[in-house]
Amino acid sequence: MTNPSESVIIVVVSRALARLIQLFGIYVIIHGHYSPGGGFQGGALLAAGVLLLRMTEGGRASQSEVSTEAAIPLAAVGALIFAGAGLVTLAFGGHYMDYGAVPVPGVEEPVVRYYGILLVEFGIGLAVMTALVAIFDDMVAPDPYGNAVDAAGDRAGTPPKL
């Protein structure tokens, strides 16, 4: 989990497969507003690619995509894009997430709605991807109570006092 896998086959196959999973995740986000899928499913697929690399190559393998420190702030940025796109329409006098109310010169109203939904889908995808990676990083982090795990996978010592 935290150490790289010793099998060459697992490492090579997961490297190739992670990129395919993430490519499909981007496809699902972009086509989310007129076909099954959307920001949540695409973000979960993007996170699945990152988690596959972290499981097979150790926690340091995919830090350049979503680092452990940046995961929670990026999730906040994604939620801000989601909520902020709705608040912008309020500022122009429409309802919450009523994208047609935003006046863009030279662009028809359905096109503005189209790109508004796409922007919100990107926000959801970013938030879901980074939040799922943050949950995984928190689960495999070293035990804050200092109990070591022996070779059989059992905890040594007494259970922590909560």
Which residues of this chain interact with another protein, rule CB under 8 A? 1, 36-38, 40-41, 44-45, 47-48, 51, 55, 132, 135-136, 139-140, 143, 149, 152-155
Given the complex with another protein, which of 11 and 112 has the nearer CB atom?
11
Please say whether the beta carbons of 46 and 22 come within 8 A.
Answer: yes
State the Cα–Cα distance between residues 44 and 71, nearest whole angstrom: 14
Supply the minimum distance, in Å, between the C-beta of residue 139 and another protein.
Answer: 4
Supply the minimum distance, in Å, between the C-beta of residue 30 and another protein.
Answer: 15
Helix (H) or strand (E) holding 90: helix 71-91
Given the complex with another protein, which of 95 and 155 has the nearer CB atom?
155
State the Cα–Cα distance between residues 68 and 137, nearest whole angstrom: 7
Please say whether the beta carbons of 67 and 59 come within 8 A.
Answer: no
Contacts of 95 (CB under 8 A, 6+ apart): 89, 101
Given the complex with another protein, which of 40 and 115 has the nearer CB atom?
40
Supply the minimum distance, in Å, between the C-beta of residue 26 and another protein.
Answer: 14
Supply the minimum distance, in Å, between the C-beta of residue 55 and another protein.
Answer: 7
